[in-house]
């Protein structure tokens, strides 16, 4: 009996790795990785690896019933200031590709900056969010299915309203 339990655990682990690798093999994910590598090379700093990020992505996908998935995070500590914003933008845009559109750029008076790039891919909307905070850079990539996410949010609102009305 113990052998079967161990075999099932290994089979589930392999299945999760296959799902993760298939999910990570799409074009948006590869372009995100290329952008991270290019920024790492240009600014001579390595990103911090987030352990078990695939599990976070899998949990987000399950919790939202497919509304959010394909999450990736790259964190750069000691990134340093970006002196040439045009060069930085060119690196990001060239690595993401022409199908990505810069949709939000917010600059704060203290030097912090946030950028959001989006791309439509069938029923999915892909996002890359870049946050420059003095000497740190954080980049997040995710895919959202707007219909599925809206359904999930509506279910949560209905549950919250029901819970409030029964108290």
pLDDT tens digits for range 16-67: 444 444 444 456 789 999 999 999 999 999 999 888 888 888 888 888 878 8
53-63 helix and 2-24 helix, angle to the nearest 10 degrees: 90
Cα 138-99-41 angle, rounded to 5 deg: 40
| 62-93 confidence digits (pLDDT tens) | 888 788 888 999 999 999 888 888 999 999 99
In terms of pLDDT, which residue wins out, 12 or 64? 64
pLDDT digits (tens, 9 = 90+) for 146-162: 787 777 778 777 666 55
Domains of the chain are: 26-165 (3.30.310)
pLDDT of 137 above 90:
yes
Q: 20, 58 in Cβ contact below 8 A?
A: yes
Question: Residue 53 has what pLDDT?
Answer: 85
């Amino acid at each position: 009996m113990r052998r079967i339990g161990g075999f099932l655990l290994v089979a589930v682990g392999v299945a999760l790795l296959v799902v993760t690798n298939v999910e990570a093999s799409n074009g948006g994910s590869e372009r995100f990785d290329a952008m991270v590598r290019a920024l790492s090379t240009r600014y001579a700093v390595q990103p911090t690896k987030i352990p078990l990020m695939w599990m976070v992505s899998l949990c987000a996908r399950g919790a939202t019933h497919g509304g959010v998935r394909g999450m990736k995070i790259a964190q750069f500590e000691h990134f340093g200031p970006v002196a040439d914003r045009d060069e930085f933008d060119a690196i990001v845009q060239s690595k993401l590709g022409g199908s990505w559109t810069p949709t939000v750029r917010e600059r704060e008076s203290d030097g912090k900056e946030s950028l959001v790039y989006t791309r439509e891919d069938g029923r999915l909307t892909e996002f890359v969010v870049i946050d420059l905070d003095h000497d740190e850079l954080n980049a997040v990539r995710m895919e959202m299915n707007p219909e599925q996410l809206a359904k999930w949010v509506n279910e949560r609102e209905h549950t919250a309203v029901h819970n409030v009305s029964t108290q």
